[in-house]
Structure 1
Amino acid sequence: MSRPVIVTCAVTGSIHTPTMSAHLPVTPEAIAEQAVEAAQAGAAIIHLHARDPASGLPSADPALFVEIVERIRARSDAVLNLSTGGSSRMTLAERLAAARLIRPEMCSLNMGSMNFGLFPLAERYGEWKHDWEPAFLEATRSVIFKNSFEDIETILGDLGGEGGARFELECYDVGHLQTVAFYLEKGLLKAPVFVQFVLGVLGGIDAAPEQLMHMKATADRLLGSNYRFSVLAAGRQQMPLGTMGVILGGHVRVGLEDNLTIARGRLATSNAEQVAKIRRILEELGHRVATPDEARAELGIATAGTAR
């Protein structure tokens, strides 16, 4: 049966570095432009990080986020989803500064501490545009991406509660689903929760069809009818497992944060190119892309009909 599928686009992230693709947006203007283009191509939700405009280094500077958000809001009513993850090298206060200021209608929330290994990417490149890039990647060999229970509760309290934000609950393994269920039972999360199954990050569950089925079966058992899900598969499994997620009744996330290519051996020229590809696939399956207001209604976002 035809149904609206929510497409999330993660525009730049904090994983890939400028050397890896000339198409990765870095400046606020470029990030906003690619976000608007992705929304025009069919993305209902835009997942946002910021970068230092000179170096491309992931940044938590609230002023950069404000500029990005204002540029997008002037041209699009897409749901704007600010990252509270930032990068594993940022403190919690740094990661939350922009969202605390902007008070967006949606934020991401990583549901547990974990190893988050980017260091294998450094082996693929011999020359770098910026000196910080290889050291940034190599640092993930020794750094834990900290998201303790206390951190999660701080984010839920500061940005959920009176802040009114809904959350993209990023679950990198089945244990993270246990944490979602715990906070749903405690009342700190409200149904329907929006769970992002994240597959393919070194340190989390791998990107395989069997693992997606395992994640969904676990979520079904723990959360029942109280959740909606989306699939984020890192790297080359982005489209195959995203498509599988749609077939299983879920939604899908694409974008240059998660995957730099559009086909084997070919870099995507923009985020919109990835959105257009997944849109063609889901329309061939008999579905359609959700509008931003349909996404708001499906996920219980209180600001339906507005672009905050």
Structure 2
Amino acid sequence: MTKTLITCAVTGSIHTPTMSPHLPVTADEIADQAVAAAEAGAAILHLHARDPETGRPSALPEHFHAFLPRIAARSDAVLNLTTGGSAVMALEERLAAPLSVAPEMCSLNMGTMNFALYPMAARFDAWKHDWEKPFLDNSDDLVFKNTPRDIAHVLRELGEVRGARFEFECYDVGHLYMLRHFVDRGLIRPPFFIQFVFGVLGGIGADPENLMHMKRMADKLFGSDYLFSVLAAGRQQIPFASMSAAMGGHVRVGLEDNLFIARGKLATSNAEQVAKIRAVVEELGHEIATPAEARAMLGLKGADKVTP
């Protein structure tokens, strides 16, 4: 049986500092939590940056460079840089950091979609920063743009030119067909690492039958040429990751996707979530993959080929 890959998404661009005091914001916090998550069993670290003063999602290369070398010096985990950034960022902003680093791995959203975060704003009356509530409220008119032209540009510049491989984030069944389109164009080679994403308002819902359907469609479209992982937003995080592991898939956890460790109880760190899903995976009789095994499974170029 193939070993199970654990990805940890450390901070993301969805949750805001008011929502949890444990959400990492500064370079020190992101680096420390990323390394701890790797020590707990995450072979892949999915990374966003934040403005250290305000906690606002950032695409500035200097904010990424403040923590990337620190993580690489303390861990051999695969560093997977976002190309999604935040839905309010233009493509050029989102790509600035990964283009400067030429990472082993990047995320790639497989389509344009509504990305509605505004229901979260109703849960809070007071805010730590003045940007947070408008950021959430205004998402009722927000479109995350990733057109076929955008996707082709990312595949060319980061894949062909810089040798990165991708975590293909598929928020709905149509995104699987878009991925197949680019395979048919010859812009992507197997193995494909597909992240099924559930529970974002604007994408497919976190219903178990939807996971089964996504898996069936991926089997139809990609045969044995792909690996799949599962993330679910919020309270469905661990149940859906557990389903994925039971189906022979891989898992993603982290404070980007869910701030809690149990009902009504905030996770104190990313490592706490990694440890929880690792226990589930191992109770199912599976072994977790090391970073070296992850590189072999996904055909990555190696950390020594990443720009310092």
TM-score (norm 2): 0.98
Structure 1 equivalent of residue 65 of structure 2: 66
State the number of aligned residues: 307
Query: 1:297 and 2:296 equivalent?
Result: yes
CA RMSD after TM alignment = 1.1
For 2:230 and 2:108, how far apart are their aligned partners in 1? Answer: 15
Q: 1:59 to 1:175 in 2, by over 3 A?
A: same
Instruction: Kindly provide the CA deviation profile for residues 210-257 of structure 1, in whole angstroms up to 9, marking residues without a partner as x.
Output: 000010001000111111100011100000010101111110000000
Instruction: Kindly provide the CA deviation profile for residues 52-110 of structure 1, in whole angstroms up to 9, marking residues without a partner as x.
Output: 00100000010111121101011001000000001111010000000000110000000
- For residue 143 of structure 1, report the CA deviation from its aligned partner: 1.5
Instruction: Kindly provide the CA deviation profile for residues 93-137 of structure 1, in whole angstroms up to 9, marking residues without a partner as x.
Output: 000000000110000000000001000000100000001000001
**Correspondence 1:119-138 to 2 at 5 A:** 119-138=118-137
Structure 1 equivalent of residue 101 of structure 2: 102
> Any unmatched runs of 5+ in structure 2?
none
Work out whether residues 103 and 306 of structure 2, in 8 Å CA contact, stay in contact via their aligned partners in 1: no
Structure 1 equivalent of residue 204 of structure 2: 205
> Any unmatched runs of 5+ in structure 1?
none
Q: 1:94 to 1:112 in 2, by over 3 A?
A: same
Structure 2 equivalent of residue 191 of structure 1: 190
Structure 1 equivalent of residue 166 of structure 2: 167
For 1:294 and 1:306, how far apart are their aligned partners in 2? Answer: 17
Work out whether residues 297 and 304 of structure 1, in 8 Å CA contact, stay in contact via their aligned partners in 2: no
> Sequence identity of aligned pairs in percent?
64
Query: 1:91 and 2:103 equivalent?
Result: no
**Correspondence 1:210-289 to 2 at 5 A:** 210-289=209-288
Structure 2 equivalent of residue 24 of structure 1: 23
- For residue 302 of structure 1, report the CA deviation from its aligned partner: 2.3
Structure 2 equivalent of residue 40 of structure 1: 39
- For residue 162 of structure 1, report the CA deviation from its aligned partner: 2.0
What is the SS of the residue equivalent to 2:54?
A: coil
Instruction: Kindly provide the CA deviation profile for residues 248-296 of structure 1, in whole angstroms up to 9, marking residues without a partner as x.
Output: 1110000000000000110000000000000001100001110001011
Instruction: Kindly provide the CA deviation profile for residues 15-64 of structure 1, in whole angstroms up to 9, marking residues without a partner as x.
Output: 00000000000001100100000000000000000000010000001011
For 1:35 and 1:252, how far apart are their aligned partners in 2? Answer: 16
Query: 1:81 and 2:80 equivalent?
Result: yes
